[in-house]
Chain A
Amino acid sequence: MRNFDCDYPGENLSAYIDGELDDHQRRDVRAHLDGCTRCRDRLEQLRETRAFLSSAPSYDLPPDFHRNLRAELLKKKAEQKRAAPLAWFPAGVYVAALLALLIILPLSALRTFHGASPDMMSPTEDSIQPEAESPFVSMQEEAEEEAEPPTLASAPVSDLRTEQMRLQVTDVQGWTEYLINAATAEGAQVKEQEFTWGSDGSLLEATLVFELTAAEVSSIREQLVQLGDLTLHRADRLDPPPGEVSAELEGDTDASQIVMRVTLFAGPHPGEEKYETPQASVYAGRDGPLAQQVRAALTDSWVRFGAHIHLSILWVAGHVPHLFFLGALIALTFLTVSRARRPH
């Protein structure tokens, strides 16, 4: 705008068309406009400019914007979570809940099906000597040795160099975040990550590669195996995902620094069966103790599931409840202490 003779402040005209003047200023502008054709022209030009700019249509977001952003956010989270000391806390709660479940369920089933037998309900007297020469004890021990797959948590960790884990989950993103939380809290670094996205922008498969010491792998693996085969509702999530997890582990030998490759994927995994209970659906692809219990229980009903767990645990619970509770205590204590010891 050139060659204006009038020196009335133009920014007042500009603010006038925006409705950003108070009453007094507005009256002043109007009074001036009444007597100044040049300023009426200036006002008109400002209006034109503003209208022209306002007419600009909005640009649409690039189609892959959300997907890229989500991948970057996950990376960022992995970086940030390295220093988070309490990320294992939910896992500790789950383990405690699992143990509580194993204790309470058979006892309540016992009450339902066998009545309040004082012998069963207060099994302290029988169980003071855990090494009692009961034939049941040795039978149970043999059975457990057979049932325990050698590649799972029982495998000596120092024998592993590369560890692979495939976890089938319904909410891949939720579990990816969870795993990043858990592993980075153990001091692991996410070395590689690979994401596969569905057409709707949801995360279909995530592969995370960590580098850890043997002890860290052991800790993480045990947590995951504990969590496996059970329905989990994560307390810290916006929408708690029903996590249906199955795990298989493959080992390699000779190294203390271990590369752990975890793949989380949605959809059914070949060779696995899906079991429906009134409470949850469970995937199980191996003959782990939990999978066996679930499968046996599901031949009839959820109630029989409880009864079955009762029967199978009764051998142990009836004779060595002290060991059972002691194990639970040790596990919880270990978790608490290992949390407290960690720096930060």
Chain B
Amino acid sequence: MDEKRLVALAQKGEIAAFETLIEAYETRIYNLAYRMLGDAEDARDVAQETFLKAYSALARFRGDASFSTWIYRIGRNCSLDAIRARKRSRTYSLDAPVDTGDGEVTRQVEGDLPDPDEVVLTQERQDVINSALAELPDHHRSVVVLRDIEGFSYEEIAEILEVRLGTVKSRLYRARTALHDRLEQMELFRDRIVWQSEGRENA
């Protein structure tokens, strides 16, 4: 069944159709939220909130943007709402445990990294990426997550974030620059993490 037909059924309130419709986006929206918030539990709540909002708002979806862009826009808004709510309610602690999905570890800061031989590489990488992302301003973080982790084109990102193409371009540059500096500070870039072989090389 194609997307248009599913949208039409879901607009009538059919839950089964809606579930089929969002199947392809569930993991990706969850990951977007995870990278934006750096926390599994918050990410789960935001992802659920995103789909519930989408379900309610679907009647107003006219197909001007693609469904993908539309649902990411909701995901972005829900993430930003959650960040704002969190900033009001609690301060971000560097000592707070980070849930890596396999037990909790304490957030790694510079000079206090475990021996690379003793850690599972992927987990450390997730942790490093999340803590580096956490230090970016929200509007920079969302651009770099959508581009480098979710793999959207500049044009798609501009639609999702509702900004101009040039803004995407400059924010992405600044975000990457800041991330590079941060990762370098953590002395991870050349010595601790093997990453080159796995990166995308499509320039």
Contact = CB atoms under 8 A, between A and B. Distances in A.
B71 interface: no
A143 interface: no
A68 B169 contact: no
Interface string B192-203: 010110111111
A80 B154 contact: no
Contact of B199 (A15, A52, A237): A52
Interface bracket on B? 35 or more
A304 interface: no
A55 B203 contact: no
Given A47-B203, A51-B199, A51-B201, A62 B44 contact: yes
B52 A65 contact: no
Interface string B140-153: 00001001110101
A237 B16 contact: yes
B31 interface: yes
A60 B30 CA distance: 8
B13 A77 contact: yes
Contact of A20 (B18, B148, B153, B198): B153
| Residue with the highest number of chain A CB atoms closer than 10 Å, among B20, B34, B55, B148 | B148
Interface stretch (A6-14, A110-118, A133-141, A192-200): A6-14
A105 interface: no
B129 interface: yes
Contacts of A82: none
Interface string A188-227: 0000000000000000000000000000000000000000
A44 to B, nearest CB: 10
Given A55-B125, A72-B52, A18 B203 contact: yes
A237 B18 CA distance: 12
A62 B14 contact: no
Nearest to B181: A1
B180 interface: yes
B176 A55 contact: no
Contacts of B159: none
B173 A11 contact: yes
Contacts, number: 155
Contacts of B27: 58-61
Contacts of A49: 148, 176-177, 179-180, 183
Interface residues of A, number: 49
Given A52-B199, A54-B200, A65 B148 contact: no
Interface in B1-41: 9, 12-20, 26-27, 30-31, 34, 40
A59 B176 contact: no
A59 B199 contact: no
Interface in B66-84: none
Nearest to B51: A69
Given A14-B176, A51-B195, A62-B40, A57 B169 contact: no
Given A50-B148, A53-B149, A59 B177 contact: no
A261 interface: no
B160 interface: no
Contacts of A69: 19, 48, 51-52
B106 interface: no
A179 to B, nearest CB: 13
12 contacts: A19-B202, A46-B176, A49-B148, A55-B198, A56-B149, A58-B31, A59-B27, A59-B30, A59-B31, A70-B19, A73-B19, A238-B16
Given A58-B27, A65-B48, A237-B14, 17 more contacts: A1-B177, A11-B172, A11-B173, A15-B154, A15-B169, A45-B180, A49-B177, A50-B176, A52-B129, A54-B200, A62-B40, A65-B47, A69-B52, A73-B18, A77-B15, A174-B16, A177-B13
Interface of B: 9, 12-20, 26-27, 30-31, 34, 40, 43-44, 47-48, 51-52, 55-56, 101, 122, 125-126, 129, 144, 147-149, 151, 153-154, 169-170, 172-174, 176-177, 179-181, 183, 189, 193, 195-196, 198-203
